[in-house]
């Protein structure tokens, strides 16, 4: 894995060899140049066997040198100055692409990626670091992307198919319902035609004769009990702290 010093602005063969310890650039499989002021990718395209590459937090605008990386599977380009993804269209092995925090302005800028049949994970927005792209302001961009890339499993860090996707969809439906609802006195009004999403018995824990399941059930209840105790303790400590702070704020009275 390669790193660079903070004054690095261009990736050179000497830099790649010295940082990775590889004599041949074709032997380099993993590279990490994160937050080092890089604006010129230089000869990185000569690392034709590169599989994982992290170039996040730099000043990159031109991705042309990456076009020769046919084996590249994971690419992190977050927090750069990229508006054109066209060179990535030849990265046939690309599975995961992070371009959050760049200058991608429209859905059309993403059409060049449709030929990447192995692409399963795309990130254009990262709320953790407050990274985004102008295209994310389009309220329908998520729906359009899922139509453009039918093989996508994860979009913006959220699983859209497979295990866990139902939970994300459920949360999204709740958010959409709340945002679309008409608020009265701070509450969403009841609707007569609303029906439960699941049956009443859906959340019931079904016991089993299996010793393993019974033990897991016991451990779960133990953890739940601990959580309740911690919650009560935290509530008590917060109450004490608030009481202490309120006493400190009271003006001091002096006897005359």
> Region 125-153: what's the mean pLDDT?
91
Average confidence score pLDDT of the chain: 82
- Which domains, from first to last, does the chain contain? 13-179 (3.80.10.10)
The three-class DSSP label of residue 231 is helix
Give the predicted TM-score (pTM) of the model. Answer: 0.64
* Residue written as token pair 């590889």: 22
Question: How far is 42 from 143, CA to CA, in rounded Å?
Answer: 36
**Are 171 and 165 contacting, i.e. CB atoms less than 8 angstroms apart?**
no
**Better-scored residue on pLDDT, 245 or 184:** 245
Ranges 148-152, 160-164, 181-185, 236-240: which has the least confidence: 181-185
Confidence of residue 240 (pLDDT cuts 50, 70, 90): confident
Q: Would you say residue 5 has pLDDT above 80?
A: no
Of 113, 118, 7, 129, give the one whose Cα is nearest residue 56.
Answer: 129
Please tell me which residue, 164 or 50, carries the higher pLDDT value: 50
How many other C-beta atoms lie within 10 A of the C-beta of residue 170? 12
Q: What's the pLDDT tens digit per position in 194-226?
A: 666 666 666 665 554 555 566 666 677 777 877
Per-residue pLDDT at 242: 81
Give 119's pLDDT tier (boundaries 50, 70, 90).
very high
| pLDDT tens digits for range 87-105 | 999 999 999 999 999 999 9
Percent of the chain with pLDDT over 70: 71
Q: CA-to-CA distance for 203 and 148, rounded, in angstroms?
A: 36
Give the separation between CA 232 and CA 219, rounded to whole angstroms. 20
Name the pairing type of β-strands 74-76 and 52-54.
Answer: parallel
pLDDT of residue 57: 96
Q: Which residue has the higher pLDDT, 64 or 139?
A: 64
pLDDT 10s digits, 31-87: 999 998 999 999 999 999 999 999 999 999 999 999 999 999 999 999 999 999 999
The strand pairing partners of 74, in sequence order, are 52, 96
Is the predicted pLDDT of residue 130 greater than 80, yes or no?
Answer: yes
pLDDT at 197: 64
pLDDT tens, position by position, 173-183: 666 666 665 44
């Amino acid at each position: 894995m390669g790193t660079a010093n903070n004054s690095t602005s261009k990736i050179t063969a000497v830099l790649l060899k010295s940082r990775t310890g590889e004599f041949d650039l074709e032997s380099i499989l993993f590279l990490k140049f994160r937050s080092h002021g890089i604006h010129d990718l230089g000869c990185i395209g000569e690392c034709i066997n590169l599989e994982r590459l992290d170039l996040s937090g730099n000043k990159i605008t031109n991705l042309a040198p990456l076009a020769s990386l046919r084996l590249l599977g994971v690419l992190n380009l977050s927090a750069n100055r990229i508006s054109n993804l066209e060179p990535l269209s030849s990265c046939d092995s690309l599975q995961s692409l992070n371009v959050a925090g760049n200058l991608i302005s429209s859905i059309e800028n993403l059409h060049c990626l449709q030929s990447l049949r192995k692409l399963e994970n795309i990130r254009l927005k990262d709320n953790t670091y407050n990274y985004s792209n102008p295209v994310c302001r389009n309220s329908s961009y998520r729906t359009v992307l899922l139509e453009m890339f039918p093989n996508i499993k994860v979009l913006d860090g959220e699983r859209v198919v497979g295990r866990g996707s139902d939970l994300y969809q459920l949360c999204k439906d709740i958010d959409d319902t709340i945002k679309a609802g008409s608020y009265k006195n701070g509450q969403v009004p009841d609707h007569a035609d609303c029906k439960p999403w699941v049956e009443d018995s859906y959340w019931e824990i079904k016991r089993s004769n299996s010793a393993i399941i019974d033990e897991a059930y016991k451990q779960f209840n133990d953890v739940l009990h601990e959580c309740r105790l911690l919650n009560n303790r935290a509530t008590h400590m917060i109450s004490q702290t608030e009481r202490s702070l309120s006493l400190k704020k009271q003006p001091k009275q002096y006897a005359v």
